[in-house]
């Protein structure tokens, strides 16, 4: 009994040991699984970026609220968007300050910046908060050409670019000074924030080096459109070649020689032309000609002048729709006046491009009007059958109404548009005022509208006549068939009547209502011819037996001298007949 109790106690200890080992194994497996999941999650989550370069190269899709922590220097700020750019040794990046009310860091301040990764045209820092830790010199700028900047790859980077200053404009929002800069391969804008001084006109036509942030401009689909150079102030520019003290002292260039080939096209400086004003469009520009060609000069300086005045113009040459134009032009009258010469041309000669930007006169027929964007455009066909448009540079104050189809003579500026290969494609006439339209002859009575109406009427009448002829022919055919069928029936009835009446051996005859004999069969006829002189006829008309016009008669003939044979033959004749 004791030994059995000992064995029972040993079994309970064994079961408890087994349960304890199983519990330890379960805990170990649970800890191992938890650790594996944690390691897997840590391996799937990218590390928080600590440099600008790491942020710019983060892989897509970006995890939400991916934290960042960098040390960088502020390179540019304006309150338009607002825009804040920072940069460290690995590159520059834009910081989103929208919705924040704290004071932004100034350019040159070092900040300890925390935030999350945002995604737009390029990665940026969202939800920022920072601490200013000191000041530093600006980073070393990257030298860029226009072609390199136009790729968009240097977005948010601190760069250096060079070009010739063409003009200035003040942007009201944020008091941003916008500088138009030209290079041999393209033009770009430089933005200077919070500028409250007069325009630095001494920089016009000077070659300048600009240092700032290359900022990409993109559309709503985050696609690159262009770029701007954002410089903190004019302290970040350097004049490499100053502008001439007297820009009008340069020699005049023939208009036909503007933008022709030259081995030295390193910079896009202004050129000077001397010509006679042919058209003036206030606050827009002027057209002028010097005998070699014509040119359009964009200008808003408001210099007083009239058409026919001789002027000196300096401006930056740029490509136009066909011929070059002068941008940011300055105008100085010479106080000489010449009558503006007008060249009569045809449509085909205008398409050759030789009269682009020149004052011309052309005859044609006004076909119709177009009104794109509330502007009235005349569509004209020249006498040599070339269609073109005539439009006003700005809508005239006085109304005009010329009937379509009128013969007109137009005086204005010939503006040629080229195709992608530079060949003339089409032209239009830029009118100065309604006085440039002279009516040569009113429209003919037979206008296109009336001709269309007449032709439509003739077509309708022809269709109606053909339809009526078809219907009439069908009715005639139907009536002809009906008449033919009736004639055939009548002929058949007549033939049947003749067969019955004339070939009958019985004596048959027809009398009228007055008793006149109309017709009779052959026995009656023979008897009548042979015995008529000695016969006495007595006709008794019996009452009708039907609704038809048919009566029965009984003929009694008294033959005083007739033989018994004749009397028997005649007395046997009794017939019915129609009495019409």
| Better-scored residue on pLDDT, 513 or 213 | 213
Q: Where are the domains of the chain?
A: 1-45, 52-135, 142-241, 265-337, 343-444, 509-578
Percent of the chain with pLDDT over 90: 53
Half-sphere exposure of 423 (CA within 13 A, CB side): 1
Average pLDDT of the chain is: 83
Measured CA to CA, the distance from residue 369 to residue 365 in angstroms comes to 12
pLDDT, one tens digit per residue, over 525-564 is: 666 665 543 443 444 444 444 434 444 444 444 444 444 4
Written as six digits, the tokens of 486 are: 């009736």
Element (H, E) at 467: helix 448-501
What is the maximum alpha-carbon separation in the chain? 188
User: What SS3 state is found at 207?
Assistant: strand
Q: Which fold has domain 52-135?
A: OB fold (Dihydrolipoamide Acetyltransferase, E2P) (2.40.50)
Segment 562-573 mean pLDDT: 44
Please tell me the predicted confidence (pLDDT) of residue 576.
43
Task: With beta carbons less than 8 A apart as the criterion, state whether 324 and 307 touch.
Answer: no
- Does pLDDT of 365 surpass 80? yes
pLDDT, one tens digit per residue, over 41-99 is: 444 556 789 999 999 998 888 888 899 999 999 999 999 889 999 999 999 999 999 98
pLDDT, one tens digit per residue, over 289-344 is: 998 999 999 998 788 899 999 999 999 998 889 999 999 999 999 999 998 889 99
| 265-337 and 343-444 share one fold | yes
Please tell me the predicted confidence (pLDDT) of residue 108.
95
Q: Which CATH number fits the domain 265-337, given the four candidates 3.50.50.60, 2.40.50.140, 3.40.190.10, 3.40.120.10?
A: 2.40.50.140
CB proximity list for 136: less than 8 A, separation 6 or greater: 73, 108, 109, 110
Residue 152: pLDDT band by 50, 70, 90 thresholds? very high
Q: Which CATH number fits the domain 142-241, given the four candidates 3.30.70.3270, 2.40.50.140, 1.10.357.10, 3.90.1010.10?
A: 2.40.50.140
The answer, as to whether pTM is greater than 0.85, is: no
CA 189 to chain centre: 31
Written as six digits, the tokens of 311 are: 């002027």
Would you list the DSSP string of 21-72?
A: HHHHHHHHHHHHHHHHHHHHHHHHSPPPP-SHHHHHTPPSSPPTT-EEEEEE
Measured CA to CA, the distance from residue 302 to residue 36 in angstroms comes to 78
Measured CA to CA, the distance from residue 134 to residue 73 in angstroms comes to 9
- Pairing mode, strands 224-230 and 237-241: unpaired
Percent of the chain with pLDDT over 70: 81
Q: Which fold has domain 343-444?
A: OB fold (Dihydrolipoamide Acetyltransferase, E2P) (2.40.50)
SS (H, E, C) 96-157: ECCCCCCCCCCCCEEEEEEEEEEECCCEEEEEEEEEEEEECCCCCCEECCHHHHCCCCCCCE
Please tell me the predicted confidence (pLDDT) of residue 137.
93
| Better-scored residue on pLDDT, 120 or 498 | 120
- From 147-156, 254-263, 289-298, 421-430, the region with the lowest mean pLDDT: 254-263
User: What SS3 state is found at 571?
Assistant: helix
- From 88-102, 246-260, 389-403, 562-576, the region with the lowest mean pLDDT: 562-576
Segment 6-11 mean pLDDT: 47
Residue 503: pLDDT band by 50, 70, 90 thresholds? low
């Amino acid at each position: 009994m004791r030994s059995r109790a000992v064995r029972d106690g040993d079994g309970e200890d064994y079961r408890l040991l087994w349960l304890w080992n199983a519990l330890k194994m379960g805990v170990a497996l649970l800890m191992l699984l938890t650790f594996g999941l944690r390691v897997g999650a840590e391996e799937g989550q990218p590390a928080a970026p600590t440099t600008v370069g790491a942020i710019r190269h983060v892989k897509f899709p970006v995890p939400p609220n991916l934290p960042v922590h960098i040390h960088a220097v502020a390179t540019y700020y304006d309150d338009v968007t607002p825009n804040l750019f920072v940069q460290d040794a690995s590159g520059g990046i834009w910081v989103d300050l929208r919705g924040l009310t704290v004071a932004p860091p100034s350019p040159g301040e070092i900040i300890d910046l925390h935030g999350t990764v945002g995604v737009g045209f390029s990665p940026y820092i969202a939800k920022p908060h920072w601490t200013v830790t000191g000041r530093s010199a600006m980073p070393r700028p990257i030298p860029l050409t226009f072609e390199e900047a136009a790729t968009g790859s240097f977005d948010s980077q601190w760069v250096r670019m060079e070009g010739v200053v063409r003009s200035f404009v003040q942007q009201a929002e944020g008091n941003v000074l916008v500088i138009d800069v030209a290079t041999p391969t393209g033009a770009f804008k430089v933005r200077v924030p919070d500028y409250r001084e007069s325009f630095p006109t001494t920089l016009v036509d000077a070659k300048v080096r600009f240092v700032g942030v290359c900022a990409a401009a993109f559309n709503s689909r985050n696609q690159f459109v262009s770029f701007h150079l954002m410089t903190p102030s004019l302290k970040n520019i350097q004049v490499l070649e100053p502008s001439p003290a007297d820009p009008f002292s340069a020699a005049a260039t023939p208009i036909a020689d503007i933008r022709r080939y030259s081995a030295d096209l390193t910079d896009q400086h202004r050129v000077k032309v001397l010509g006679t004003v042919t058209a003036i469009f206030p606050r827009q520009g002027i057209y002028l000609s010097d005998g070699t060609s014509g040119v359009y000069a964009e200008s808003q300086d408001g210099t007083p002048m009239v058409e026919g005045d001789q002027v000196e113009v300096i401006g930056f040459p740029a490509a136009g729709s066909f011929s070059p134009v002068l941008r940011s032009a300055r105008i100085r009258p010479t106080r000489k006046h010449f009558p503006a010469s007008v060249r009569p041309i045809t449509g085909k000669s205008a398409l050759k491009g030789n009269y682009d930007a020149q004052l011309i006169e052309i005859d044609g027929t006004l076909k119709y009007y177009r009104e794109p964007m509330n502007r009235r455009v005349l569509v004209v066909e020249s006498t040599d059958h070339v269609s073109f448009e005539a439009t006003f540079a700005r809508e005239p104050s006085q109304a005009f109404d010329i009937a379509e189809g009128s013969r007109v003579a137009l005086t204005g500026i010939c503006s040629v548009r080229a195709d992608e290969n530079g060949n003339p494609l089409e032209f239009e006439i830029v009118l100065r005022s309604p006085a440039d339209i002279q009516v040569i002859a009113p429209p003919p009575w037979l206008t296109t509208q009336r001709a269309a109406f007449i032709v439509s009427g003739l077509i309708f009448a022809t269709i109606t006549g053909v339809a009526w002829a078809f219907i009439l022919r069908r009715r005639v055919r139907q009536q002809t068939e009906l008449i033919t069928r009736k004639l055939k029936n009548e002929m058949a009835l007549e033939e049947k009547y003749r067969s019955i009446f004339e070939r009958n051996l019985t004596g048959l005859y027809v009398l009228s209502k007055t008793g006149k004999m109309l017709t009779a069969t052959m026995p009656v006829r023979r008897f009548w011819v042979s015995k008529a002189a000695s016969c006495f006829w007595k006709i008794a008309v019996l009452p009708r037996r039907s609704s038809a016009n048919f009566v029965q008669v009984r003929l009694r003939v008294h033959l005083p001298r007739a033989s018994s044979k004749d009397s028997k033959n005649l007395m046997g004749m009794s017939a019915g007949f129609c009495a019409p």
